[in-house]
Amino acid sequence: MKVLITGAAGRLGRASRPPLRQAGHALRITDLSTASLDPVAGEDALSGNLGEPAILERALAGVEVVVHWAATSNEQAFPLVLENNHRVLYELYEGARRHGVRRIVYASSNHAFGLHETSTRLRLDSPYRADCFYGLSKVWGEELGRMYWTKHGIETVALRIGTFMNLPPRNVRELSTWLGLEDLQQLVKLAVEKPGVGFAPVWGISANTRAWYDLSEPNALGYVPRQNAEEFAAGLPKEDAAAADDPASRYQGGKFVTQSWTPAAQRPHR
């Protein structure tokens, strides 16, 4: 299959390329012109910003499936999130219609759910609770995908990525959100290849003992994670006991929650 990978020079992009190449897919890889794509055999590289119509048209020509990692990937000033995660995503889906793309594998995020408390175990149909404008853009992106499936028959696999750093978990929160390299690679391959999924949300995390997600629930890809962050738990640096009322510990989004947060005493309603 001809597969376009956007954000192909980033952490997720780089890790996605080998399993898709090995499975025999022809890859077109794109990233901003400032990023090093380092293409190898089986990959054709295109540098540039997908927000520019000419680049988008070249990127999508002949493509059946898009794996879309390119985005603003954490909380930033709203105009930047609006440009990269809303407008460019809209252009990508409209481009997909023009070019007959069958499926978009979309990089959603745990931050679409980050204002759920850490005591909550989420199911695939749990309500969104974005923890910042970035998280909210991922809610919007998932709903965009669902709409294009119903109205235009373009499939979307929404990968709700937890924490993928291509490293062992670095703190207690990541014991819940961690996604290991092997699990990411089987997930991406399934997301590209599994036939007939329609609109399919999937938790992009490993089989973590402390997961905030109900992983016993079947998903459309048949993704069954095999790694578990818990095996690294003993080696983690000790963390000070968090204050019971610290919103970064109370809510799943952690520090994304408190980047902008009004203390109770300063709120118009308490």
- Which residues contribute to the site for ligand 15L (CB under 6 A)? 73-74, 109-111, 161, 163, 177
* 254 conformational bin, left if phi > 0, alpha if psi -120 to 50, beta if neither: left
Place of tokens 């007939």: 196
- Locate all alpha helices (DSSP H) within the chain, ordered by sequence: 11-22, 53-60, 78-81, 88-99, 133-152, 174-177, 181-193, 247-250, 255-258
Burial class (CB in 10 A: 0-12, 13-18, 19+), 178: buried
Two tokens at 151? 């109205």
Two tokens at 255? 């520090």
CA distances from 9 to 14, 16, 30, 96, 118 (A): 6, 10, 8, 22, 32
* Residues marked as catalytic: 134
- CB of 204 closer than 8 Å to CB of 177: no
Residue 220's identity, in one-letter code, is: A
Residue 6's identity, in one-letter code, is: T
- Locate all alpha helices (DSSP H) within 39-127, ordered by sequence: 53-60, 78-81, 88-99
Strand 65-68 with 43-47, pairing? unpaired
CA distances from 108 to 38, 45, 102, 192 (A): 26, 24, 19, 15
